[in-house]
Structure 1
């Protein structure tokens, strides 16, 4: 599904028209609507992959309630609010992630999922942002070797789940870790 646009447009052309064949949940809305494929269509799809990494959920899960079936549509309201983001983070991560990095990835995913293709970042810009996070991780790791005063990432507070939001572990092929010992009350 990914990289289809690379084999497509040549010369002065900016897109290629094809029969819509992408995997549901990953295909950009303009591709589904028109069959026009561009490099920005791949960026949209990559935004969905970033959401899968953050949430541990599948791009499309028909076993969930209607509004929660599409990961991209369900997650969007949480991505630009630091206080809400932890609600959709994969519970298998058990809070062991830098909150700033999670918010950066969430913001990047939201930009990739922009409904307007021209407003999405270029893939090279996405890579550049992710490399910055990797560089931050490396420099933080090196600086911790000699400093014990740098705190570990903060775990989100335990909370009771009385909302319709289903936070049971997903069957996503992206998350192969054991089920979290944390359970809903």
Structure 2
């Protein structure tokens, strides 16, 4: 049973406001690109004042980075307890394949956001900070899930390789779906684990 908006907690209102602003920003970016998407336009599209923007985001860059975190969130595999490293890499490839529909829907925003960041130091700095945190977390996860045989390379490097591999496979799949079947993902992650593709 859900209550009316008046009876919902303030935290829910803030989350709804933030979500509406991000949805509006995402729509405008698709229509106009990052360069021509202003905070005023985002507020108007969401049916809010510019005060709502600044109550939720420090600036345009903060909003853009939040979009990336929401629509291109980390892929999280389901790991079976006691599984080998090869089985863990298989779970990661399966989770990546499962994420394809959501990633494909967000691909245009991801690519245009990356292009925008290349020419805007403030955004690139934020992207670097978020990526460094993500890589540190991923490297920690890799160290934790490594089995007795260890990792094929230091965890700090492996997380970079997995990230690049995942992004490259995904975007190539979006561009040429018939040339990048699911098995390409599974074979790539199996190779990282030093396992035959079928494992």
TM (norm. structure 1) is 0.24
TM (norm. structure 2) is 0.23
Structure having greater relative contact order (Cα 8 Å, sep ≥ 6) = 1
**Per residue, is there more helix in 1 or in 2?**
2
